[in-house]
Amino acid sequence: MPAVLDYEPVVLPPQRGEAGPLSEIQEEILDLKQRRQAVILAHNYQIEPIQRVADYVGDSLGLSYQAAAAKAEVIVFCGVHFMAETAKIVNPTRRVLLPDLNAGCSLADSCPADRLAAYKAAHPEVYVVAYINCSAAVKALSDVICTSGNAVKIVNRVPAGREILFVPDQNLGQWVARQTGRRMRLWPGSCYAHVQFTVQALEKARLQFPDAPIVAHPECIETVRDLADEVCSTELMVKFAREHPARRIIVVTESGMLHRLRREVPDKTFIAGPTDTCACNDCRFMKMNTIEKLRDALRNLAPDIDVPEPIRERAYLPIQRMLEWSK
Ligand code: 13P
Ligand code: SF4
């Protein structure tokens, strides 16, 4: 392991001209996609070769709308398990594939459904706002779902006077509580990747790139969020990059985001947000999907996601509420 802060920053300069030709395997994926009548949805944290063959690349909110509206027979979801599960919940007649079924999420794992059920039994008065990074079983126990892109809007719609329990991300919950002024009980969960960003690593980056604003994801810890010029979802990072006059931007989230930013804002330089020991930060779950596994998923129409119908029906209600409230 490298010594603390002993690394060169990852700097992606403006993307001049067209991205190169597709590889053989990417061409095969496009061909299989057509034959299987499939649509490929990819999260912003996916590797670049996957982002380039996807029909849509976005954040959890955009992906939920895309999944709900998908007409294709097959949805190949390049993201993590809870995202593919959400696609199945909102569009159950489609076959939903996840290239690697082991692509989980440490944040989702930090709130097991049986513990939430026990908490609700002891505190029946709480109104449960669940961040979309949770299992179908947790969604089924919730009153409304939110994503980082709409959390403030959703919490503002919760009936005044109701005591909110926010699960599972304490960092996003704390940020939303500040933005909305709502008192909330916070579930003690967090994203293992985002909590690795530190103030000292970002201060080093700031010294190296004094003209570059810092944009950070709300799953980061409070001291990091306080240092950032903007705190927002991955989708809103694209808007921020487009609209901010700076030529260079420090991006404090999972490193796949830099590919999306470079494609959509090709005239700017993006610097990966560093941690104490690494110049950029990968989510090991998001990176389990590879281009070969995507090809194999389309070839074999597997692995696919199954959500038991009673859970799916109950989990759909708070998602539907979110989709309505965030219009
Ligand atoms: P976004 O919805 O902002 O893309 O975040 C998803 C996620 O998993 C962040 O770690
Ligand atoms: Fe989960 Fe964190 Fe990975 Fe997002 S980055 S999928 S919250 S582990």
Predicted confidence (pLDDT) per residue in 259-311, tens digit: 999 999 999 999 999 999 999 899 999 999 999 999 999 999 999 999 999 99
How many angstroms separate the CA atoms of 141 and 121, rounded? 11
Mean pLDDT of the chain: 96
- Which residue's CA is the nearest one to ligand 2's atom 7? 191
How many angstroms separate the CA atoms of 110 and 125, rounded? 22
**DSSP conformation class of 90:** H
Average pLDDT over residues 6-31: 88
Compute, in angstroms, the gap from residue 106 CA to the centroid of ligand 2.
Answer: 6
Tell me the percentage of the chain whose pLDDT exceeds 70. 99
CA 110-111-116 angle, 5° bins: 155
For the stretch 90-146, pLDDT in tens is: 999 999 999 999 999 999 999 999 999 999 999 999 999 999 999 999 999 999 999
Compute, in angstroms, the gap from residue 129 CA to the centroid of ligand 1.
Answer: 16
Task: Tell which residue, 170, 169, 113, has the closest CA to residue 142.
Answer: 113
Q: Is the beta carbon of 106 within 6 A of some atom in ligand 1? A: no
pLDDT band at 17 (very low <50, low <70, confident <90, very high): low
Q: Which atom of ligand 1 is nearest to the CA of 286?
A: 8
- Which residue's CA is the nearest one to ligand 1's atom 9? 219
Q: Which atom of ligand 1 is nearest to the CA of 254?
A: 10
For the stretch 41-62, pLDDT in tens is: 999 999 999 999 999 999 998 9
pTM score, two decimals? Answer: 0.95
Q: Which atom of ligand 1 is nearest to the CA of 193?
A: 10
Question: Is residue 191 scored above 60 in pLDDT?
Answer: yes
Question: Is residue 1 scored above 60 in pLDDT?
Answer: no
Q: Is the beta carbon of 169 within 6 A of some atom in ligand 1? A: no
For the stretch 226-272, pLDDT in tens is: 999 999 999 999 999 999 999 999 999 999 999 999 999 999 999 99
Average pLDDT over residues 65-86: 97
Q: Which two tokens stand for residue 298?
A: 């389309």
Q: Is the beta carbon of 254 within 6 A of some atom in ligand 2? A: yes
pLDDT attached to residue 2: 61
